[in-house]
Structure 1
């Protein structure tokens, strides 16, 4: 992922994979998926190094996110489009057909249909596009 971003923007991510023989220093950051926040070795590492456990998610707008993930600090940062941004994306791409899934898939498909797109919400447990 870093290589793709670096190739399109004027940025460079000087990163190394983390292994148990890596010594983390005061200026270092260890970036992990959210699902690892409550794993024992992460807690132990944070305790041993005096590190702060930070969580980044759109869910961080709710204080409960901090406590569920056992974070010291959280930042609301979403890694996906919201409803309006998805509509703008469809408008920019101008596809022949749109299939929606996850979240408010039916509402989004109806909205796109009203805007002139051929849009269909995928059904739960649907295994192919021909299952309509």
Structure 2
């Protein structure tokens, strides 16, 4: 399955979670519900993945934690905030670069209409 096909499936699951839970919950609730929906659709979902970072001659353990990695092809970062801060976009892009994954979705579940809370971020450093 391509990244675009996966993102279509993920967005469908996001809509289902948002329809059922609404807005105002903590990010953890949305993450668990979304992971459940995606697993029900038969996708491989990894949650709260702590990864090391190489810096010069040292390794920094648990340098960053990714909310969800779907099929090792799409990173999903979940937020439940009034407004997305530009640093959140940078965070997802950094995760994409460090993992060499092409596509990330930044999802803000605290959006009245969830379509305005879904943001695609592409790692342009990946060669196709």
Shorter-normalised TM range:
under 0.3
TM-score, normalized by length of structure 2? 0.26
Higher relative contact order (CA closer than 8 Å, sequence separation 6+): 2
- Based on CA coordinates, which of the two structures has the bigger radius of gyration? 1
Higher strand proportion (structure 1 or 2): 2
Superposition TM-score, scaled by structure 1 size: 0.25
